[in-house]
Each structure stands twice: as C-alpha cells, then as structure tokens.
Structure 1
Amino acid sequence: MTIDVFKWKTMGNPKHTDSSNINEAGFGDGYSQIWVSGINNVSESWDLTYTGCINEIKEVRDFLNSHIIKSFKWKNPYGEEKLYRVVNKSIESEFVGGRVVSLSFKFIQAYSP
C-alpha cells in the first residue's frame, strides 16, 4: 500500500506542539508517581496555513478532507519526514480577496504498526 504525501509548501509561521502521554498518581503526603503510557508516548501537532488561488486551494482541501482518518507523509519544518493525519474540524478557509483563499489546518502525528 502506498502512502500519500502532502506535497504543498505551507506558509506563514507554523506552530509546533509536543504532547506527552503520561499518567500520575498523587499520594496524601505530596509524593506522586509519574509514568508514560505506551511506546509512542510523545506526539507532535502542527498548526499550518496555505494560501493560494481558489482552484489550488480546492485541491489542497480535498487532500486534507480525505486524510482525517487516513495517515500521510509530510516533511515538517525540522526536516523530518513522518506520518500525520488531519485533525477533525481543523480545516478553515478565509477568502482574502478575489480568488485568493487562505486555508488553515492542523496536523497530528500518526503511527503505523
């Protein structure tokens, strides 16, 4: 099975967030135990923007909508190619003027078995 690639160059200032999947159990004396859950316990997300003419934006938007549950490859600004998927309800369009549209969306890191 081939994995799709997000081929468009994002614009603006991408915002990156790392999230750790940890658990904590606190005790009455102030002591707490902290541990990680699973082998992929740190995941990243990216808030991104793409601006272009309406026909190009339609192509990007179609790709994004088809990859909410299906992962794809993308090379992040750190130069790392990883698997991601689009966060549900994160795709927003802003019509800047004429036929120019600014599309904002969010990627979250995905993992494969």
Structure 2
Amino acid sequence: MKTIAITVFGTRVSSRLDCAEGVLLVTLDGNAIKNREQVRLVQTNPWEKINTLLQLGIDVLICGGVPDIYANKLRDSGMQLVPWVRGEAEEVLSNFLAGKLSKREAVQQRRI
C-alpha cells in the first residue's frame, strides 16, 4: 500500500506547505483508492507540521511552495516530494493518479 498526501487550504492545494490547514490523505492498494481522509494540521509552528506529516507515514507529498529547509527534511526521511503544484486538490489527485499532473498545475519553482 502507498499513502499520498496533498496539503490543502480549503479545497485547493495550499500555496505554501507551512501555511496548510490540513492534508488530504489517500491510501492506495495498487491504483485503487482504499481509504481517504482529511487530517487537520492545527499546529502553528512549521516544524511541528513537518513532524506531524512525518508521523503520518506518507510516501508521496504533493504541495505548493516549500522552503528548502523543510523540503530537505522531508526528502531525507524518504518521502517523495512533489512541490510547486497548484489547483483544486481533488483534480490534482486525479491527475497524479492518472500520471497526468500537467504543467498547468505546477508553477515555476522559486526559492522561498
């Protein structure tokens, strides 16, 4: 099984990982969605959010902008990071699962 998470703010991918109010957490069995849930990120400290994400056992994290210091911590843990994505979370999930996450959904990477 594989766990995918998308950082969200409302129904959209959060523009910055450290400002996300929650994650859409999806468990896959092969290509089929086995479970999905919304997990709130109530922490205000970005490092606490990062630690919560690490504790969720996420394999792939799809997010918006992410400062290098947080990206490095997540990657060092073995998590696959798909940053600089924008759009409606459900549409992004569908496109990711279909292998069609388009450049329209990804913004040009910049350092923050």
Fold in common (TM above 0.5): no
Q: Which has the higher strand share?
A: 1
TM-score range normalised by the length of the shorter chain: under 0.3
TM-score by length of structure 2 reads: 0.23
Higher-Rg member (1/2): 1
